[in-house]
Each structure stands twice: as C-alpha cells, then as structure tokens.
Structure 1
C-alpha cells in the first residue's frame, strides 16, 4: 500500500506494519470467535472483534511500566474459524493453531470467545512447557466433568486442564457440589473470592512453577466494571485486584502465554470492551517488558 496515504490497520493496537509483522513480532494475538457451548447469554463470539476494535483507542505507552509495548512487535493472527459440530474438535483446532505460533517462538494470547477456548490453548502450552502452571481466573470453578452433553465446554475447562497438569484457580464465587468435592479430593488450590488470606497474592506466586499460563474469564471481575459477560456473578474482583496479581506473577515467574475470554459486547457499555482490551494490553506489557 502507498505509504503516503494514512491507513488504519485493523489489528491489535492498530499498529503499523513495522510493529505488527509476524517475522518481527515477539507476541501473537489469536482471535477465536467461538461460543457454541455457551449456556446462558450468548454473544462471546463477538468478543475478539470488539477487543481488537477497542484496542485502537489505547495508548502504546504504559505509564506503570514506563515502556512502549508496541516495540515488542504484536502480530494479530487471522481469526480462527470455529468448528460448529464438535467442541472436542474445536479444542483440537485451537491447540493446533497455538502450537503453530509457539513453534515460531512467539508468546501467544488467545482472544475468546467463550472460556472453553482456554482448553486447547492451555494444552498446547503444557505440551511446550511441561512444568507450566495454569492460573485460571474465573467467577466459576469450571470443574464439572461434563455439562450439557459435552466434556469440552466452558463449564469443564479447568477440569480438562487439571487432568494434564498444574492449575491454580482464583476468583471463584459460584460452584456446584460436584466441583467442591473435586477440589477437596484433589487438594486443588482454589482461591475463593473474597479471599480469607490477606497475603493470598504471595501464597499464589509461591505455589507456581517457573512457567505460567494465564487464563482469564472476564466474569472474574465484578459486574460493576464488567457486565458484558455471559455469566455475570456479583462480588467479584476489581481492576487492581487482577492486575496486581498478574504483575506479581510476572515479577517472580515467566508468563509464557494467556487467554482472555467471555466478552459479550452487546451485554454492556462500550467501556467493557475497552477494559478487556486494556487487560490484554497489560498482560502483554507484564509478560514481554524484558523484551522491549
């Protein structure tokens, strides 16, 4: 394209080609517009496009870290086509796509879509980093063995991930009795919200392996700041609760990948899409600041 004409690039942060080319990028944003197992309010399929669109309003410079995160290079992948017939095959599709970029040495951030997209992405990272701990932020435990006829839906994500490796669940304030029994019988680390331990951040970080994968369902936030989700739950985490935890993880461990999911943009004000974009931005900044 002619360089003397001002184009708006529809990628994350609306970056110019020099900062968003796959060859030079340290990070990849992978949009997955999938919500076929959603059981309450549908619309998460529109989340990736809303996050990317809102990201164009973000400043590249991060005041907290004193870095310009565009300098890491962020490539926005083509949207992954959903598999409409099988949640299990969709999981495999996500896993293959993430493995493709991991094989290039990229940090991969998946944009859902419903939270089941985390399964394939986490499995890919557990394959590349066998010691990895998944930090799973969610208002719900997602530990059902099966829900609505599938073991690969959004209500079973943490269970499928735990079957393959280490997981720490944070922010839970709604679960069924089956999930409570699973937590107790497996001695699973699950930080219910609000936490009883005032030093819960240090306790979480101390329990983690060197490599950490972050999985964030946006309903972990209180609906007062994030109402545009499929399953809102009152009494949740606030902005600095989440970012402070992620920052402390990045200070002591290596964040090797992440997903952010469950934004249903039509269910809330535009500020929700902006907040989701800002969260993706902050995770990238924390994870990649040493590469800038």
Structure 2
C-alpha cells in the first residue's frame, strides 16, 4: 500500500526524495493495544488527502514519496530497533529523507540511532505527552517508555508537550529543554524559546498523544490536556523554517473501527510536515 496511492511516477524509490517506512509494531505497549494497525490505517486514509497544501502553496508529492515495504517480522524489541536502524541507514546513504510511521513509539529508537550516528550535532525534538525517560521498563531498555532515554544517550533532546511522567524520570530531565503542554496551549507563534534550544539540524519524533484526546483519542496512552492541531502545526512550521529537519517519525496511532478521523489526522500531519519541509523544492 502506497501513501496517497500515488502513481509510480511519484512513488518509485529511485526518483523519490522522501521514503516512508511503515513499522507495524506494538510489542511493548502497556495499555491500549493496536498501534501495530496504525501504519495501515494511516496509509488507507492518505488517498483522501487533498495534495495541494493551502498554507505553503505546494504539491509536495511532486518531490516523490516512496512507501517502502513494512518491517513486520521482528520478534523482540531489540530486533525491531535494529531492523529500523538498518533501513533508515540505507535511506540516508541514498540521499533520501526518512519518515517512519508506527507502531508504538519504540520504533523511533532505531531511526534516532542511525540519524545520530550519521548526522553530526543533530538535536532530537520530541512532541509527546510523556517524558519517555525510563532507563528500562518491564525488563526492556527498548520499551516505548524508554525512547528518549535512548535518544539522550546519543544526542541533545528537546521535549515539547509533556504533561505526564514518573518520578523516576525527573532526574533525567534537562529543565531548560522541556516545554510543558500547560505553557503551550493557545500559543500560535513566538516559539523562539523552543528554537533557541535546537541545533541547526533536527530530527522530529512525534507521539500522537501530544494532541489533546478530544481530537486524537486513538492512542496507546491518551492523556488529557494536550495541544491542538494549529498549536502543533505552528511549532512545526517554525522549526522547519528556521532549522534543517533531517527526518521524522509519527507513532502511537491505535485505530478504531468506528472513528477514522484520527487516522486522517495522522496522515494529514505527515503530509503537512512534508509540505513545510519541501515546499521550496517543488514550487
């Protein structure tokens, strides 16, 4: 299944600037199961997008968006992380822009590992309701609750949208690099404080529970008091305008049969962020 059901002209690997990697994995989920169904739901929703982006005036699909074969054979969290890391390494070697879609948030670990190794001084920007800074959880250091602990071992991290954490995570916080949801609700501009904490190159990891569950109920660990659509987009637009975004992931969609709006939100988020990143190249 291809993102947007784009024709071969705009979805073949050789000519595509962007590669989407589906990772239908939820082996360490601890509450709502179903993130393994997330990539398929996003891809199924994507053909319903309008591929002209009003805000940027661009049709970013013209840069080429290839959807690669999903990683779905990993039996352990470590195997999954390694498989994602190897695939993303190949994309970067070929000059592609990687987009990983989960799956639970642990799928980001492999992508972050490769990006941090290949791209000097990259900052990892996390949009999430949770800190994800546990050293290990339920016997695994690759649990979805450990994503940013692994990232922090490799690169500077900046955390946006947080509103829930365990007390054991508090010592790992870098206070000046944390922006809580309560301080961002209603903000549509003026993100200089966030930008000041980022290096020139940025990888973005997005857990969909950063959004308020009123618009994104279909997540593995929904948390009240989240950000709205335009608050998240305003931040992403500011980051892409002022920094070089080198890749991103979108994780933790747990689709339901009776509400497809969250699936569409995730697909539109991916396409909108790509529009911000590549509009100048396709106009």
Shorter-chain TM-score category? over 0.9
Task: State the Cα distance separating 1:60 from its structure 2 match.
Answer: 1.0
1:189 pairs with 2:177: yes
Matching residue within 102, 108, 111 for 2:98: 108
Flag structure 2 segments of 5+ consecutive residues without an equivalent. Answer: none
Q: Is the 8 A contact 2:57 2:279 kept in 1?
A: no
Q: Is the 8 A contact 1:35 1:113 kept in 2?
A: yes
Residue aligning to 1:262 = 252
Q: Is the 8 A contact 2:21 2:100 kept in 1?
A: yes
Residue aligning to 2:46 = 55
Q: Is the 8 A contact 2:17 2:63 kept in 1?
A: yes
Task: State the Cα distance separating 1:290 from its structure 2 match.
Answer: 2.3
Which segments of structure 1 move beyond 6 Å, counting only runs of 4 or more?
196-200
Flag structure 1 segments of 5+ consecutive residues without an equivalent. Answer: 1-9
CA distance in 1, matches of 2:257, 2:51: 27
1:34 pairs with 2:25: yes
Q: How many residues align?
A: 280
1:131 pairs with 2:117: no
Paired residues for 1:166-177 under 5 Å: 166-177=156-167
Matching residue within 255, 259, 274 for 1:284: 274
Change (3 A) 1:23 1:79: same
Q: Secondary structure at the match of 1:151?
A: coil
CA distance in 2, matches of 1:228, 1:276: 10
| RMSD (CA atoms) | 1.5
CA distance in 1, matches of 2:90, 2:65: 16
Q: Secondary structure at the match of 1:18?
A: helix
Q: Is the 8 A contact 1:33 1:82 kept in 2?
A: no
Query: Normalized against structure 1, the TM-score is what?
Result: 0.93
CA distance in 2, matches of 1:215, 1:169: 10
Q: Deviations over 1:130-188 (max 9, x none)?
A: 211010011000001111111111000001001111110111100011111221xx556
